[in-house]
Amino acid sequence: MADVNDMYGDWSRKNQADRTTLSRRLSELKTKNSKLYTLLEDPSGAFNLDDLAPRLRDNNTEIKQIERDILRIDSQKPPKITIDESYLADIIEFFRAKVTENENPKLTRRFYKSFIDSIVVGDDEVTIAYNKDSLFKASTIKMVHSVEKWLPELGSNQRQTD
């Protein structure tokens, strides 16, 4: 998971840095165009359209390219991960130990909620629905919901509810 987080973190930081750089340049160009349009609209007519038009055209061409680049960055997907059989065995053991050896159910639930959507226990099988994209995000804010309450909820008076 540390490797996955590192890989996603590197990818995410690079994408964010690229997007920030492009957004700044886009803002600069729009500000420049705004100033050029203000000069063109000057009632004194001191500035000639033939002098300003090439700069406006160049700026607009660059603005369109930057907007396309930002859309491309926004549409990129996180890197895919391939896990081989030996690594899978290590992961299974890690998850088993996380459940059986952890004495804090709240932390265990937070950990699993970071990537599990639901768990259905049947007579012959257990079905786990998970969100593979959230494996990259590693959020531990939500809790896994279950029918049986592992930790009692607190009522408005901060005491356990019945």
Structural tokens at position 6: 């590192």
- State mean pLDDT over 16-31: 94
Q: Do 71 and 89 reside in the same domain of the chain? A: no
Q: Do 109 and 71 reside in the same domain of the chain? A: no
Number of domains in the chain: 2
Q: Do 117 and 61 reside in the same domain of the chain? A: no
Q: Do 93 and 112 reside in the same domain of the chain? A: yes
- State mean pLDDT over 47-76: 90
Q: How confident is the model at residue 59 (pLDDT cuts 50, 70, 90)?
A: very high
Cα–Cα nearest to 8, from 145, 139, 142: 139
Query: Half-sphere exposure of residue 142, counting CA atoms within 13 Å on the CB side?
Result: 14
pLDDT reading at 72 higher than 50? yes
Q: Are 111 and 98 in contact (CB under 8 A)?
A: yes
Contacts of 78 (CB under 8 A, 6+ apart): 8, 11, 12, 133, 136
Residue 46 lies in a domain: yes
The C-alpha atoms of residue 99 and residue 44 are separated, in whole angstroms, by 77
Q: Do 60 and 110 reside in the same domain of the chain? A: no
Residue 156: its pLDDT value, please?
A: 56
pLDDT reading at 12 higher than 90? no
Domain boundary residue among 44, 75, 106?
75
Residue 32: its pLDDT value, please?
A: 93
Q: How many H-runs (helices) and E-runs (strands) does the chain carry?
A: 5, 2
Residue 148 lies in a domain: no
Residue 151 lies in a domain: no
Q: Do 123 and 105 reside in the same domain of the chain? A: yes
Residue 156 lies in a domain: no
Q: Do 107 and 60 reside in the same domain of the chain? A: no
Q: Do 97 and 67 reside in the same domain of the chain? A: no
Residue 76: its pLDDT value, please?
A: 87
- State mean pLDDT over 94-122: 80
DSSP for 22-62, written as a single string: HHHHHHHHHHHHHHHHHHHT-TT--S-HHHHHHHHHHHHHH
Q: How confident is the model at residue 145 (pLDDT cuts 50, 70, 90)?
A: very low
Q: Do 6 and 71 reside in the same domain of the chain? A: yes
Q: Is the pTM of this model over 0.75?
A: no
Residue 157 lies in a domain: no
Q: Do 41 and 98 reside in the same domain of the chain? A: no
Residue 65: its pLDDT value, please?
A: 96
Q: Which of 1-10, 93-102, 149-158 has the highest mean pLDDT?
A: 93-102
Q: What is the mean pLDDT of the chain?
A: 77
Residue 52 structural domain: 2-75
Residue 130 lies in a domain: yes
